[in-house]
Amino acid sequence: MKTLLMTGASRGLGRIAAEKILRDRPDVHLVVTARGGTLGGDLAESTGNPNVTALTCDLMSKNAVRAAAVDLAGRLDSGALPPLHGFVGNAGLQLTSRAHATEDGIEPTFAVNVLANHLFVRLLWCRFTAPGRIVLVGSDTHFGDLRHNLGMVPAPRWEPVAELARPRPDARTATDGRRAYSTGKLAVLYLVHALARRLPDGIDAYTFNPGYVPGTGLVRDAGPAVRFLSRTLLRALTATPLAMSAASAGALLAEAAVGPRPGESGVYIDRRTVTPSAPASYDRDREEELWHGLCALDPVEML
């Protein structure tokens, strides 16, 4: 038996992936994060597999992420859970502005999409057991071109890490919020590349891109018109190469998490294929800048 920690398993492709892992892999004990509720019991009931544990965690809060990591480390060390072999950072957030702040004073998109993943991996660094795998969910919006995002999301705009993490009270448009999302997904690639250079042998790091998946709840902060389009008309795109259903994307995420090794550590998995990410995503200076900037935002020690 082995333990896999996963964020964002309550809905959308994350829920599909969690259920598929529980149904197909009896050797995996799935640990999921949730802000509350009955997610663990719901997953056990829907799959018939009791090997699932829910940890209460608000991914916008550094203290909550730390508390969840401490809880998990204690269960691993006591033998209550099998050794930790993987982490799937699937939770994602896209807001309609850059003006909001978490309790820690951090812009929420950056807090959830980037910082929380970094914190979990750093805090649990010494608990990962080879062969292990870290999968962070990215997005082809990091390309910043019409071909990859249908013009719906503006191109990333890189800034120093402290600026990316800082709320902007004057950045109150949907364009600001979407650009924060695409920039955060570029940061995910930088984080994966930095991890691939640092993780011990036998622990791999990958970026998984599900493509456009309408109706998952990612745009739940958007206006009524955008939410309606995502639930209805844009779902028709899943019949084309331009989009993918939550069921298909979730199955591919499960494969990336627990399937055969997809490639060398650090690669970009675009749906089901290992392929190059955008040229801008291979900037080692930015990768190192991000790593050290994230460490400065929360200088925690490994548990």
Residue pLDDT, tens place only, 42-90: 999 999 999 999 999 999 999 999 999 999 999 999 999 999 999 999 9
Give 8 or 218, the one with higher predicted confidence.
8
pLDDT classification of 242: cutoffs 50, 70, 90? low
Note if the pTM is more than 0.85: yes
Q: Which amino acid does the sequence have at 265?
A: S
129 phi, psi to nearest 5 deg = -115, 130
Contact of 222 with 174, CB cutoff 8 Å: yes
- Indicate the angle between helix axes 39-47 and 12-24, nearest 10 degrees: 50
pLDDT at 239: 45
pLDDT at 261: 97
Instruction: Measure the CA–CA gap between 149 and 186, rounded to whole angstroms.
Output: 14
pLDDT classification of 221: cutoffs 50, 70, 90? low
The answer for 163, left when phi > 0, alpha when psi is -120 to 50, beta otherwise, is alpha
pLDDT at 227: 46
Which of 184, 182, 168, 187 minimizes the C-alpha distance to 100?
Answer: 168
pLDDT classification of 184: cutoffs 50, 70, 90? very high
